[in-house]
Structure 1
Amino acid sequence: MALRRLSSDKMASDQTHDFICSTCNEDGLNIEAKYVCKECRTCYCDNCVLHHNKLFRTHSVLGRQDVSKWVGYAGLNPIEMCDKHDGKKLELLCEDHDELACNICVSVTHRMCQSIKHIPDLANGLKNQTDYKRMPIDLQTMNSRLQEFITKQKQNKQSIQENGKKILEEIRSLRKKMNEKFDELEKRTNDKVNDQLDKERNNLQEDINKCTQNKKKMEYYEATIQSKQDNNTSYIAFKKGKDKMREAESLLQQLSSRPHATLSFQADTRIDQFLSGLQTLGKIINTSSREIPVKSDFYNPNYFHTGNIRCEPVVYNGVFYK
């Protein structure tokens, strides 16, 4: 059964189609639709779909093989679609809220509102009004401003990207300097450790040398006495042996009374205190003053006369903007 039948007095042909091309229909032509766009919710013939696809490359287009999915998309201009209720047509205006509405919107959201107007009544004579005639110019002006802002923001985006690279390089440079400073501190500390090690090793070696010399002397005197030399030699060895024993005893008492040398390392606590108090290596300074997009009222007649957007003060994250 045909879903749409068009009168022959408005069409170039009286042939009946399940779906007709919406664009051709506006020109008074009865051309069968072969495609429907899910986003535009509009039917197209073979020729019109080519123009559509050039303009809207990302839109999803259904062919006749998916005709079962067409129902609900065809026959309703996308601009007439209610954004809140899929498939419902905008037919009313709530003047209390200055909002377009479908029947469901009125019953759910605007049932307590005092002034609900029918769009056909409001649209009567609209095309002769100055505001309506100025609309294309105002839209073009606003689009130009938006494009200028987009271009500027793209440039700012590139600039902030370059800023980021510079900051990261500065952080790496700072870290390198810190590493070099820590390397220098480590070298100085190692040098002090080696100085202390050398000093203590030298002191210990000096004690070893003194004891070794005394030991060799006493070994010599011991060997002389045991070799049964003549009386004079034996006596001298005996006396020198006793003297050397007293000297060795005194040396041992002297050396033993000194504390045993040990080395340990105590880190400077200021380093840990300083580093633990840091959250980052520095501050990231943002010189921008980010603002909330201004509120616009496209239904305010003053907008179309002046070409300006009505701005109201807003508060965002505790910051007051005008």
Structure 2
Amino acid sequence: MKIMLAPMEGVVDHLMRDMLTRVGGFDLCVTEFIRVVDQKLPKRTFIRLCPELENDAKTPSGVPVRVQLLGQHPEWLAENALTAIEMGSPGVDLNFGCPAKTVNKSKGGAVLLKETQTLFDIVKAVRDAVPDTLPVTAKIRLGYDDKSLAVENAHAIAQAGASHLVVHARTKKEGYRPPAYWDYIAKIKQHIDIPVIANGEIWNASDALNCMQQSACSDLMLGRGALAMPNLAQTIKQGHAPMPWEEVADLLISYSGYEIYGDKGRYYPNRIKQWCGYLRRQYPQADVLFSQIKRLNDAKSIVTVLASQSSHADIA
């Protein structure tokens, strides 16, 4: 099986991709989306969201990173897809699943699930622009307001030449509220002949097994679950035990000193507080940690708190 790390805007940046791929279990990462409107973007825009392009499009631990684009104009998406490829991205991913209101209002992301023909036109234009040897992939939700176009949309994307399709098993309207409707992914699989990857509401190895059984998918994409349990991919693939809190604390400390790509944890305090919001689902200690650091605004003070909880706390 293959496990992919989901593109989560404002959360899974290059630092988080590096962190989670160092922990292990991931076969591919997809970047936060690059917003395309009506122009060919400069290369610096791609580097900003995917600095791995300067490292053979891989994280430091060697996991490939694919650039994701979001937009509504086929011709401009095709132009920018070609730029991503020329810069070394191992394929291009297209975002048809983002539920953010600001994105949808400007006709990007999940709102395009109302327009099956537009989905086809975008994928076809990008597929025609990208060399045949490299994949063009897409990520969708089951629909916008309802699931009535789920199969039709997936079929259009497959017919346009997509290499594989990731399906988040909820509509835009359903947001991130449980449950995820994994059985709908199985319905989609019955109607298309490209690989389908299941995504949504996978928090532990048991969820992963249930998802694979209900969706009939052998490959998964993990998002919030990987932030809630940093070694989730390994618990699914290799049967590892969930990472103990002391090791999570070590991970949070290491996040403070990152000098990768010249970016030394500028946003560390806010990011650690944000990460606690995910970790508390699996670790009650995360609630305690957040209460201890919520008023702290410098990395050094936060690291001092974390050090008392790490696996090295008892070392003189």
TM-score surpassing 0.5?
A: no
Q: Name whichever structure is richer in strand by fraction.
A: 2
Q: Which has the higher helix share?
A: 1
Higher Rg: 1
TM-score under structure 2 normalisation?
0.18
